[in-house]
Amino acid sequence: MRLYDIDLPSRLLLGTAQYPSPQVLTAAIAASGAAVITVSLRREAARAAGAGSGFWSLLQASGARLLPNTAGCHTAREAVTTAQMAREVFGTSWIKLEVIGHADTLQPDPFALVEAARILCAEGFQVFPYTTEDLIVAERLLDAGCRVLMPWGAPIGSGQGLRHAEALVSLRRYLPQVPLIIDAGLGAPSQAARAMELGFDAVLLNTAVAKAGDPVAMAHAFGQAVAAGRIGYEAGLMPPRDMAVPSTPVLGLADLNLGGRP
């Protein structure tokens, strides 16, 4: 997978929040095979102020590429400022841009999102915008300079999977050359596999792994599901049919209807 001219060996992006311990997080990243991990500037700053100052070193040691995010921002100005600080702290121009517009659904604010994306792209950031499946918003983000889009599968942390699958399929077909990463709402490996089977380029998830009974095993399951879904998509999935079609040829079968009896 190639994102902003960077080749990545995995199509799974993994969040780093809510794990029971740093050791479990480290093991989950390794088990998932994720090539990119996301981290919130605000959470890292809070850890640095207390006893968890080794968190940054732990992330670096994972070998995965860091994608800082602007989680918790509700205005374009707030998101831009957070992104600028993240570039200084983490030493990368990659930024996952989140501008939340609704406190309950955590749905992004499309107007503030486009505004912030335009400013950040002009400043040389390589922006990964967390958005919905809306086609018009997608076009505006591309016009702003984004080269990757991250439409949600469902509200963050909900585990509902691809809640608006038909709209996501339309987005995929409408933008065949744009890298599209399903971000948020996935709760099961099968949902991740389904996203990949539909032709999406990658998935990003956090809660489904971090809050699992065994986060390391779940991380491994998601890594396998993403890989399997992509292979299935590239191999060419069988289309659904309205009627049964026998898998065994009828021609050439022996006639066992002896003596005319039924």
Q: What is the pLDDT of residues 21-74, one digit of tens each?
A: 999 999 999 999 999 999 987 654 544 444 445 777 788 788 899 999 999 899
User: Does the annotation flag 83 for ligand binding?
Assistant: no
Residue 45 among known ligand-binding residues = no
pLDDT of residue 59: 81
Note whether 98 and 79 are within 8 A (CB).
Answer: yes
Asked if 113 and 97 touch (Cβ cutoff 8 Å), the reply is yes
3-class DSSP state for residue 7? strand
Nearest-Å Rg of the Cα atoms of the chain is: 22
69 appears as a binding residue in the annotation: no
Query: Which of the four pLDDT bands, split at 50, 70 and 90, describes residue 142?
Result: very high
Domain boundaries, the chain: 2-235
Joined together, the tokens standing for residue 39 give 């981290």
Could you tell me if 59 and 16 are in contact, meaning their C-beta atoms sit under 8 angstroms apart? yes
> Is 96 an annotated catalytic residue?
yes
**Active site residue: 36, 59, 73, 96, which one?**
96
Provide CB contacts within 8 A for 169, sequence distance 6+: 198
- What are the φ/ψ torsions at residue 85 (nearest 5 degrees)? -65, -40
pLDDT in tens, 203-256: 999 999 999 999 999 999 999 999 999 999 999 998 888 888 877 776 666 666
The dotted CATH code for 2-235 is 3.20.20.70
112 is in an annotated binding site: no
Query: Rounded to whole angstroms, how far apart are CA atoms 97 and 71?
Result: 8
* Model pTM above 0.75: yes
pLDDT, position 260: 58
Q: Do the annotations mark residue 260 as ligand-binding?
A: no
Strands 150-151 and 94-97: unpaired
Contact 108, 131 (CB under 8 A): yes
